[in-house]
A and B are shown apart, each in its own frame.
Chain A
Amino acid sequence: MQSNLFVHITIDRRSTVDYNEQIKESIKALILDQTFYYKTLLPSPKMIAIHLNIDYKYAKLAYDQLIQERYIRKIEDDQYEVSYFELTNYFFDRNVAIYDAIIALGLTPSIKCVEKKVVTLSIDEQKYMGFNPKENSKYFYINRLYLGNMQPIMILENYLPMTIFPEIDQNFVGDEPLNAYLDQHYNIKAKLSHRTTQAVNLTSALAKYLNERKNAASICSTNRVYDQNQVLIDFGRSHTISSYYFQALISKEEISEYYISR
């Protein structure tokens, strides 16, 4: 299978661009246009060097840079696979559970509960989250890691008011999908999620959970979830190093609107 991949990786000997840069860009382009998809086993740097008739150091350097940029990862001695993936447009216009988005990627999802406890939030914290602030209000806090084929994909912490979800701390185990649980046990449906996203550097604690280096870039999404009665039921904050789950399609109508409304 690996040998078939060779035909895609090419270099231009007349170019002024270094061989390692050419190999890196060639593989990166193949990953981004999904010729090489998640978990594709790549030819080893040695095989690339023989195939392209170049010094091994160029192929190795290209692979090291691709690892640094998180497009590939080393799985064993001289074995590399594609680690880049995009959580698709499942999240763009529908409030779909992360669990389902992981299935859509073709991976087996699982959830690992990192921490769960009851906390008392200050008035300022409650205001920031958007809750109606009250002194000594108790919230159920959960911090969970979402995995696909046992690889960490996203870490998500949630704050749920105990006034809306009494005894949730005693009954919610932590490894089950949250929205389905809230629907089944409290008849409360997560109808609307208001999300604000930023690119941020990972703290060392988050990096450890996501199996990444400290300061690796991640997408941080702050989510405020409302139920069928427009009541804020959940404040969440997630971090993922994956490409963003909005693969936004902007329609012709929106472009026309832009031309007209300016």
Chain B
Amino acid sequence: MDYIFVNKILKTPIYKQIAYSIISAIEKGDLIFNDKLPTEKEICQTFSISPTVVKMAYDFLISEGKIKRIKGKGTYVTNRSHYHSPLHQFYQVDRVFMDEIDHYDRQVILVDYIDDDYSAYRMLKLNKGEHCFVFIRIIKNHRNPVLLQKIYLPEKYFPKLESSDLENQRLFDLISKKQTQPIDHLHNTFSPINASSAEALLLNIEPDDAIYFVRTLLIGEKNQVLGYVTNYFPGEFTEFEVMVHAI
């Protein structure tokens, strides 16, 4: 509760001081999506103010879409940054947040070296026994997950990869440095899927919430599949934009 500041000597109404303290904490990233706020009673007792004032502050924040009350549970922060990108550039997620270096984070949670995988191997046109690196990573903005990625890079095209390669640089930088064959184009398919409990946990959403699922094939100049990436964007917090022209 240390992010709330009240100065009773000021002429600014106390409900506004409380509300703006919370808005400021959200903007700084001290409070993030799904953080629980103190109860109205706790604020009343701490600052010796009337329940009506606290209620006014919370009602104001609810009307602004910053917080929500869940009956029987409490009051929670709802504000969460949206990832908004032109459709063509959805894959440049790390560039969008490049200017916000303090609030942007890539986290590799799994590194594996596999020789089989039903879906990915079919997409990659790999035979069982051929080796492939798999990385799972999460990209976060203000500690909120923006994107979960599963990245499959066959060893024959990307020899000697390490997890630090993905932690320390953007996917396209890695590809440009480590690939043995140049990429010709990317091929993407966009689908709506419902989140499994594991995906929900990693994306900080509820199980069954909508996910914007994008499958990306990295295609080489000889039409070979150099890599396969599955992207999971939290649906409610992701928007892609496109202009389409009549023929």
Contact = CB atoms under 8 A, between A and B. Distances in A.
Interface residues of B, number: 47
The B contact surface, by secondary structure, is strand
Given A201-B210, A248-B88, A262-B95, A12 B116 contact: yes
A232 interface: no
B97 to A, nearest CB: 13
Interface residues of A, number: 51
B50 interface: no
Nearest to B247: A94
Q: Choose among A22, A28, A196 the residue with the greatest number of B CB atoms under 10 Å from its CB.
A: A196
Interface stretch (B21-29, B35-43, B153-161, B184-192): B184-192
Nearest to A243: B191
B185 to A, nearest CB: 5
Interface string B163-175: 0000000001000
Nearest to B118: A25
Interface in B220-239: 233, 235-236, 238-239
A246 B208 contact: no
Find the residue from A189, A246, A251 having the highest chain B CB count within 10 A: A246
Contacts of B9: none
Given A244-B190, A248-B87, A91 B244 contact: yes
Contacts of B121: 29
A201 B205 CA distance: 12
Contacts of A22: 118
Contact of B236 (A26, A200, A215): A200
Given A191-B246, A258-B92, A199 B235 contact: yes
B207 to A, nearest CB: 10
B119 interface: yes
B122 interface: yes
A201 B244 contact: no
Contacts of B186: 248-250, 255
A252 B210 contact: no
A51 interface: no
A96 B88 contact: no
B71 interface: no
Nearest to B119: A29
Contact of B242 (A33, A246, A258): A246
A128 interface: no
Contacts of B183: 252, 255
B201 interface: no
Contacts of A255: 172, 183, 185-186
Q: Which of B90, B215, B244 has the most CB of A within 10 A?
A: B244
A250 B183 CA distance: 11
Interface of B: 87-88, 90-92, 95, 98, 116, 118-119, 121-123, 172, 176, 183-194, 208-213, 215, 233, 235-236, 238-247
Interface of A: 12, 15, 22, 25-26, 28-30, 32-33, 69, 86, 91-96, 189-201, 215-219, 241, 243-244, 246-252, 254-255, 258-259, 262
